[in-house]
Amino acid sequence: MDARGIIVSVRDRKGLPAEAAAWFAKGLASGEVTDAQAGAFAMAVLLNHLSGEERVAWTLAMRDSGGVLGWDLPGPVVDKHSTGGIGDCTSLLLAPALAACGAYVPMISGRGLGHTGGTLDKLEAIPGYRTDVPVEELRRLVADIGCAIVGATADVAPADRRLYSVRDVTGTVESIDLITASILSKKLAAGLEALVLDVKVGSGAFMKSMEDARALARSLVDTANGAGCRAAALITDMTQPLASSAGNALEVIEAMETMTGVAVNQSLWDVTVVLGAEALVLAGLAGDADEGADAIEEALESGRAAETFGRMVAALGGPADFVERYPDRLPAARVVRDVVADRGGFVTTIDGEALGQAVVRLGGGRLRGGDRINPSVGLSEIMPLGEPVEKGEAIARIHAASAEDADRAAAAVRAAIAIAEEEPEEPPLIHERIA
């Protein structure tokens, strides 16, 4: 068996047997497969697709290219994955809420990708918070606290890390087969029993249409189930930011305000509750979605989720008093400026991707892989769809490192938020459930 033969088989639509998938994934991890061969394989998959059985085999091969965690805990091991959007900080609420309900959550998360924010980048806005921890420390934290939100170690799905870097430069990022295996190989390596998937759709998501979002959700659920992990997906709206903030420290503040009841963002709360309910049902901790939703809401309302989050932050090197003092503990931008409407009417459309790119250019994301992030910058108080607005009223607030950066961001925000006379129909927050 060799790389060329496997590539030719996929190219000529002769299939990807499980043993060939395992060989190729190990070759990616070891370096035996070259970058040119990895790119050719990715292009063959993009053009010819994998069957459902082949997609499961490829996902498991990617998972097994590195270490796979096993657990011996008194409750189910569960997690959530989002395909990414603007102002999506649900992980910060959901992981501790699930832990407070009896689940164990080893949430291996990622950094920002393109215009979307990354959970690790948000958490690293907290002074001292460590996202890079050895496996044994992750085991201890999950067992003691119930959850830990960290990054993947070098041993988690190394074949995916290699292929991921090749896909961007070979024009194969869009392959649903490769997206599915990339997401699930890392999640399955965490030894999960249940996984809830949040597939975003709309202007701020990677999947702009319901057709594409539905196809990805179906692929993720079927592949996860085929690989032995109970899964379901919710297609949730990203035609506007989920939270009213976009930017690392700003999203942490909004998540903390919601988690502590200081100022609840209802959309953020609602998506957290519905995802949490689904996860509890999958994990066998709730009999149905209503029971699961009640449990998640109680964990949030009682403060048990916030207490769990505070313990996790302290255990990972952050301030011991973070829950009580988070506004003082997070960095603040040097320049804060409102963007005002140049006409009256209603907010009719929001280009979420453009807002995300504005945050990236403020320094809140990466234009290149090695870029340093400024955790204090971003947007807050983004006016939602359907909101009436008067001329001269603020439609968003910019947090920038300089006046020049703020000027550029203001122009981008005005271009991204459309105002018209006719009130628009607001899209549903949850579009579909796929199981």
Residue 367 CB neighbours (<10 A): 9
**Is the CA virtual torsion 269, 271, 275, 280 positive or negative?**
positive
Query: Would you state the structure tokens that stand for residue 102, as one six-digit string?
Result: 């009896």
User: One of 63, 186, 230, 431 is an active-site residue; which one?
Assistant: 186
User: One of 65, 116, 182, 219 is an active-site residue; which one?
Assistant: 182
| Annotation marks residue 79 as catalytic | yes
Query: Would you state the structure tokens that stand for residue 130, as one six-digit string?
Result: 């460590």
Query: Would you state the structure tokens that stand for residue 125, as one six-digit string?
Result: 């806005």
| Annotation marks residue 82 as catalytic | yes
User: One of 63, 64, 79, 139 is an active-site residue; which one?
Assistant: 79
User: One of 59, 65, 82, 91 is an active-site residue; which one?
Assistant: 82
| Annotation marks residue 270 as catalytic | no
Give CA–CA dist 180/58, Å, rounded. 10
What are the angstrom distances between the C-alpha of 40 and each of 33, 44, 45, 46, 118? 11, 6, 9, 10, 29
Q: Are strands 230-237 and 430-434 parallel, antiparallel or unpaired?
A: antiparallel
Report residue 42: phi and psi, to 5°: -60, -40
| Annotation marks residue 172 as catalytic | no
User: One of 55, 63, 80, 230 is an active-site residue; which one?
Assistant: 80
* Position 117, amino acid: G
Query: Would you state the structure tokens that stand for residue 260, as one six-digit string?
Result: 């502590």
CB 66 within 8 A of CB 28: no
| Annotation marks residue 187 as catalytic | yes
User: One of 187, 214, 230, 399 is an active-site residue; which one?
Assistant: 187
Residue 386 CB neighbours (<10 A): 14
Spatial CA neighbour of 13 closest among 61, 60, 51: 51
Cβ partners under 8 Å of residue 51, min gap 6: 15
SS3 191: coil
Spatial CA neighbour of 181 closest among 120, 224, 234, 140: 224
User: One of 63, 167, 200, 230 is an active-site residue; which one?
Assistant: 167
| Annotation marks residue 119 as catalytic | yes
| Annotation marks residue 325 as catalytic | no
| Annotation marks residue 208 as catalytic | no
CB 110 within 8 A of CB 118: yes
Angle between helices 248-260 and 304-315 (to 10 degrees): 140
User: One of 81, 122, 397, 431 is an active-site residue; which one?
Assistant: 81
Query: Would you state the structure tokens that stand for residue 402, as one six-digit string?
Result: 């300089």
| Annotation marks residue 219 as catalytic | no
Burial 133-161 (b: 16+ CB within 10 A, else e): beeeebbebbeebbbbbbbbbeebbbbbb
Spatial CA neighbour of 71 closest among 100, 98, 106: 106
Give CA–CA dist 99/75, Å, rounded. 10
Active site amino acids: 79-82, 119, 167, 182, 186-187
